[in-house]
Structure 1
Amino acid sequence: MGRTIFLLISVVLVAYYVYIPLPDAIEEPWTIGRKAAIVKIGTDLASFGELLGISHFMETMQLLMKFQEVPPTSDENVTVMETNFNSIPVRIYIPKRKSMTRRRGLFYIHGGGWCLGSAALLTYDTLSRWTAHKLDAVVVSTDYGLAPKHHFPRQFEDVYRSLRWFLQEDVLEKYGVDPKRVGVSGDSSGGNLAAAVTQQLIQDPDVKIKLKVQALIYPALQALDTNVPSYQEGSHFPMLTRSLMVRFWSEYFTTDQGLEKAMLLNEHVPMESSHLLQFVNWSSLLPERYKKSHIYKNPTPGSSELAQKYPGFIDVKACPLLANDNILRQLPLTYIITCQYDVLRDDGLMYVKRLQNVGVHVTHHHIEDGFHGAFAFPGLRLSERMQNQYLSWLIKNL
């Protein structure tokens, strides 16, 4: 009897973690399913630990991800080193082949919901050394303070300090970077930070060297409306669910779960800030095909107290989609990747539209069979295609 019960429990657990329902359009479903199962196990462990009061959810996730970090090891193509830019840890990748001229420079910002990740993660280390070699560019992959230990604006300020340091003429000269060919890039929350610091840079009179391009990979760009069509459609996609994305957003600003609950209900924007909703109104900013049968409904006005305590979610430095047109029209050449099966899809689509409306030259690649995290997904053909598109754009424009 005991063996039978154990067997049944084992079968249920295996089915729960192995069977991951994916859309028919998704390529290599078993490969993705295995990765999704690992993510699911990790998040369930973190949730269980938090429920028992053992550890904060994000701290457990950070500990698990530590096992995926690698040392700064040079190879036959790229020299890898670690240093600090204005007290912010960075990892630098410099091609070994000789160059008669100064190289391109790419400042990369990792994702992880402002709570997780580092430049040392295997996926980001692999991406950075690949980019440095293929693009023949100096790649600076920056770290920054993470929640729950640090909240907004710490992440933004760390990245901005690091970028400003890199953009000094003597620093660029030291690493052999052409000051006219510097770009910024990032994925997910790193795309958020890339967009935010790019906006800030054009308003900073003390920075003489400006960015030539920005490349944003499925960026998170707004926290005002957590019920846009992509949040609804992708609410249960295994790599980034709606509830996990809301948790990331709320943790960016505070550990107060009152904000998370309000954001899940889409009842966190106070009446006095409702004018900002025009900048994230998907009914006017999304192409028709993405609206489908969705009907736009203004988020229910929330408590003024939440916004007073945690004003980050109505701050343009945290939500770049809130920038006015005067700022947006000054932005450099822009590349944006969006994925069909991604809760953040509509953030990217709305930014594309707003930038196009003010005359910014935008190249937009929408990946019909893409999902959140696909860009740096190891061993996936889709990932390789996305990276090659990204590289081709950088070769042409940076």
Structure 2
Amino acid sequence: MGRKLWLLLIVGVFTAYYIYTPVPENFEEPWKLMWLNAPMKVVLHLATFAEFLGLGHFVDIITSALNTDEVPTSDENVTVTQTKFDDVPVFVYVPKRKSEAPRRAVFYIHGGGWCIGDAASPFYDLLSRWTAERLDAVVVSTNYRLAPKYHFPVQFEDVYSALKWFLQEDILKKYGVNPKRIGVSGDSAGGNLAAAVALQLLHDTNVKIKLKIQALIYPALQPLDFDSPSYQENTHMPVLSRSLMIRFWSEYFTTDRSLEEAMLSKRHVPAQWGHLFQFVNWSSLLPERYVKGHVYHDPTYGSVHLSKKYPGFLDIRAAPLLAEDDKLRGLPLTYVLTCQHDVLRDDGIMYVTRLRNAGVPVTHNHVEDGMHGALSFLKLKISYRLIKEYISWLKENL
């Protein structure tokens, strides 16, 4: 009997540990979030332990656990086509109802830290269907090659190649798209890629058709400063912790763990690139209410070795927030969604400030009771609220 009680106690402790996660008081459905976060917590811990034992790469193990092998299919409202744009796999969603005029279009890029995720996953499939149906729009949901097998700039190049392919006049005509009503959108790492391709397209003289809007949903925009107020306040938040975000950034550039270690200790940027910190200086770019008494410290510089070996983390195609002001001018009408309880909150808010300073019209939707990934938790009320707000903005501005 004693052994059974001890076993029950141990099981109870472990269950409580994986289910209970401290969450901010203003969350509408805290216990639902805890239940939804528990499986992810288990997967992350198992992946970390398995990697420690040498059984596989952290990201590969997570991918195996999350893989569903589902493929989107057409329904009574939307025709879904699986195809390739310049050899990049995409899904194209077209409303079945007839349209008297060419439709607007959304080019959507999924998130997942450049390492995981798929345009075919149930959430992205559903978001694309809703966007196509409610906007009467063509939606292109793109995939791209992932880390750790592929590193920057492969992810960027895949997405940019697919977007340029789509923006050809004959392709737009084939899908019945109005060339003056096209937008790019993405969440998290997809928001990073959306911002990056929008920047690249703006200055690409070979592409004549430009974007009308960009919509960035809790985007990751810089890997220089992991000590901003949002990183400090949300270090251990569910879904995306500080350490996990740093791991994703590091994997984007290399499987060499020395870059991750340098990022964790804030010693990955050499002094000769110190001027870039002006573009991520949260003490001047964040409104006072987000600073909340946090004290900005001058950067601690690292050796030049890592930046020479992996220069990608200093490239604006990977870190749009590092773009100089003249590169930002002329960007299209922009929507940025940020969440209060998200390590990436300040990336988005700093980009809002910099875009506005460059004369770019920006709608900033800040969600006080939101956390990273809020759009994708369809069992939570907040998900439907944010999707509605996002699609409403597209409907009004695209």
TM-score (norm 2): 0.99
The DSSP-based 3-state class of the residue aligned with 1:295 is coil
Alpha-carbon separation, structure 2, partners of 1:348 and 1:6: 47
User: Structure 2: which 5+ runs fail to align?
Assistant: none
Partner of 2:53 in structure 1?
52
Counterpart-to-counterpart distance in 2, 1:15 and 1:71: 35
Residues of 1 paired with 2:66 and 2:170: CA distance?
Answer: 35
Separation of aligned partners in 2, 1:72 and 1:374:
22
Q: Within 1, Cα distance between the matches of 2:33 and 2:317?
A: 33
Residue 142 (structure 1) aligned with residue 142 (structure 2) = yes
Deviation of the 1:372 alpha carbon: 0.1
Map Cα deviations across residues 294-334 of structure 1 (whole Å, 9 max, x no partner): 10012200110000000111111100001111111110000
Q: How many Å separate the matches in 2 of 1:234 and 1:275?
A: 27
| 1:97 and 2:77 matched | no
Q: How does 1:268-279 map to 2 (within 5 A)?
A: 268-279=268-279
Kindly report the root-mean-square deviation, in angstroms, between the aligned alpha carbons of the 2 structures: 0.8
Alignment of 1:198-347 (within 5 A): 198-347=198-347
Q: Determine helix, strand or coil for the equivalent of 1:367.
A: strand
SS of the counterpart of 1:337?
Answer: strand
Secondary structure (helix, strand or coil) at the match of 2:107 reads: strand
SS in 2 for 1:119: coil
Q: Please give the per-residue CA displacement for 1:281-306, whole angstroms capped at 9, x wherever unaligned.
A: 00000000011121001220011000
Residue aligned with 1:163, SS: helix
- Aligned partner letter, 1:213: I
| 1:84-233 correspondence to structure 2 within 5 Å | 84-233=84-233
SS of corresponding position for 1:368:
strand
Which position in structure 2 is the counterpart of 1:33? 34
1:354 and 1:365 map into 2 onto residues whose CA distance is 16
Please report how far the alpha carbon of residue 35 of structure 1 lies from its aligned counterpart in structure 2 after TM superposition: 1.1
Report deviation, 1:390: 0.8
Cα drift, residue 144 of structure 1 = 0.4
Distance (Å, rounded) in 1 between the aligned partners of 2:46 and 2:127: 28
Amino acid at match of 2:96: K
Tell me what 1:12 maps to. 13
2-structure distance, mates of 1:38, 1:128: 25
In the alignment, the residues of structure 1 paired with residue 166 and residue 135 of structure 2 have an alpha-carbon distance, to the nearest angstrom, of: 19
1:22 is aligned to 23
Higher mean displacement: 334-343 or 58-67: 58-67
Shift of 1:24: 0.6
Measure, in 2, the Cα distance between the counterparts of 1:223 and 1:340: 19
Give the whole-Å Cα distance in 2 for the aligned partners of 1:153 and 1:33. Answer: 35
Structure 2 residue matching 1:23: 3-state secondary structure: coil
Deviations 1:38-75 (A, max 9, x none): 110111111111011001000011111212x4212111
How much has 1:376 moved relative to structure 2?
Answer: 1.8
Question: Runs of 5+ in structure 1 lacking a partner?
Answer: none
Q: Which runs of 4+ in 1 moved over 6 A?
A: none
Deviations 1:93-152 (A, max 9, x none): 110111001101100000000000010111111111111111111000000010000000
What does the per-residue CA deviation read over 1:144-178, in whole Å, with 9 as the maximum and x for residues that have no partner?
Answer: 01000000000000000000000001011111111
Q: Distance in 2 between matches of 1:149 and 1:250?
A: 13
Q: Which residue pairs with 2:368 in the alignment?
A: 368
Q: Percent identity?
A: 62
TM-score, normalising length: structure 1 = 0.99
Is residue 62 of structure 1 aligned with residue 63 of structure 2?
yes
Q: CA deviation at 1:6?
A: 1.6
Q: Report the residue type matching 1:54 in the other structure.
A: L
